[in-house]
Structure 1
């Protein structure tokens, strides 16, 4: 490893330890912004649903910890890490990340301001991280009894939400495209509470106690979309449908129905479940 790379890795660990001291659970990230440690189950024939129960590192956001010894151990196992991720939705902060992407077709900052005017809330002053592409991440805190899912452009084009099972790239991290840094004037701020009106937009309504895990009616269109797939588009359609399902909080409920539809369209069950697992990882940030 070159001297510059060693310095970057050392700084990444220092920033991660600082975040952990503030109660923010962290994991090491590679220059691609993905978890630096490979899944210990990557060579197994069938997809494995494990969130760290096996006791080994390599489960993405499920490895996140605030324990200094644990942080050092994770970075020690990934000396190539150049950044760190902060797990969202975890106590004590229950962090919610609002990711404003400047590469979207529309101005995501203006879109958020429009939502604020329409739904009568004020965007609070809070920790803001500037990304190498010119975007920004707003850090907000949520109540402990509300689970905020991850979503991509559901609120508006270019506005992604990072919640439970997701992570934010921490300030001081370096990716292949540049460094993440705190916006001027926000370094001394604490994450602000998420306005109630915004919380209602990013969190799904609570399920009824009598809700079942049968196929959600509003997921039927996604199932039909997969059923109608022709040869050459089966995996693509299944992946797209699974991403939409997980973004809308019905991925786990719809997984079996999507698998059945994909098998009916011509995929093997193994292929279908692997594709759905990939959509789960991409959309929710869950480690495997």
Structure 2
């Protein structure tokens, strides 16, 4: 018969007023790796952040002797055996998307519900045993997924909100053990990929679809050019401008501090964002880009993609 995860079992034994050093020790004794974070905050206090998390009791006790008010961080994914759906309330109210996802059955199988100090909700599931579940964000839905290469702040940690102390508080425990979440299906539901667009005839998209005009505009910019280039690339992709035509125009902007490789990667990321597949480069394009670089994984692609979602 399936059992609860070690984390949920340990969490069920904590009271809201359990001292943080005691809670950290109890998690470690249950085999759950933890690490200290800033008192009243989220930033790790260890050199390598969640990579330093451990269930070694002596190390955990040493950390919390040094930082007795430290919040408790826990890596998510295979490291701890749990993943978390984080429903946010800042900017976008994630509860609306959460309700829609729950109606489809995609949210079934949770083990624990934790209220965050800011009014959000952390939904804990057992991690999948057979495959990696990378962390992701669905910004337009107001929901994040904390899986492999991520971490979460766990009860009874606390935050200082408007001068008041607010706890991460266990709200509910499932009466039965949980089951793994289909995180990929949830992401597709919350942030569906844009369907491929049929490219119009060359020259049929006036105005904002003029790559030369956009390139001239970028040539005069000196701030946030990577983000603006990504935006311009997405606009051209949406308007059906051929990738090579857009790239040729944008490469005219190249300057000592705004090189051809960076431009080529960013334009390709914009087209991939709109059409779903990376454009097929010419040999000359490939020579300008860094070999083996994931065009959608660099800092420009990540930051700009979040802004467009």
Superposition TM-score, scaled by structure 1 size: 0.56
Q: 2:158 aligns with which of 167, 174, 188?
A: 174
Residue 91 of structure 1 contacts residue 144 of structure 1 at CA under 8 Å; is this kept in 2? no
> Which sections of structure 1, spanning at least 5 residues, go unmatched?
1-9, 38-57, 204-223, 242-260, 284-288
Count of matched residue pairs: 200
Go from structure 1 to structure 2 and tell me whether the alpha carbon gap of 1:139 and 1:175 turns closer, same or farther (over 3 Å shift).
same
Name the residue aligned to 1:33.
42
Name the residue aligned to 2:23.
15
Residue 114 of structure 2 contacts residue 171 of structure 2 at CA under 8 Å; is this kept in 1? no
Distance 1:195 1:13 in 2: 31
Name the residue aligned to 2:149.
165
Alpha-carbon distance, 1:20 to partner? 2.1
Alpha-carbon distance, 1:33 to partner? 0.8
Residue 234 of structure 1 contacts residue 265 of structure 1 at CA under 8 Å; is this kept in 2? no
Query: Residue deviations 1:223-277, cap 9 Å, x none?
Result: x999x58311136669x99xxxxxxxxxxxxxxxxxxx9x9565489xx9xxx67
Distance 2:25 2:111 in 1: 21
Secondary structure of 2:19's match?
helix
Does the alignment pair 1:233 with 2:224?
yes
Alpha-carbon distance, 1:180 to partner? 3.0
Name the residue aligned to 2:64.
75
Distance 1:14 1:265 in 2: 57
Distance 1:191 1:151 in 2: 25
Distance 1:175 1:278 in 2: 31
Distance 1:265 1:11 in 2: 56
Alpha-carbon distance, 1:200 to partner? 3.3
Name the residue aligned to 1:86.
74
Does the alignment pair 1:66 with 2:55?
yes
Structure with the bigger RCO (C-alpha within 8 Å, sep 6+) is 1
Does the alignment pair 1:105 with 2:92?
yes
Go from structure 1 to structure 2 and tell me whether the alpha carbon gap of 1:231 and 1:122 turns closer, same or farther (over 3 Å shift).
closer
Does the alignment pair 1:136 with 2:121?
yes
Name the residue aligned to 2:180.
194
Distance 2:228 2:133 in 1: 26
CA RMSD of aligned residues (A): 4.0
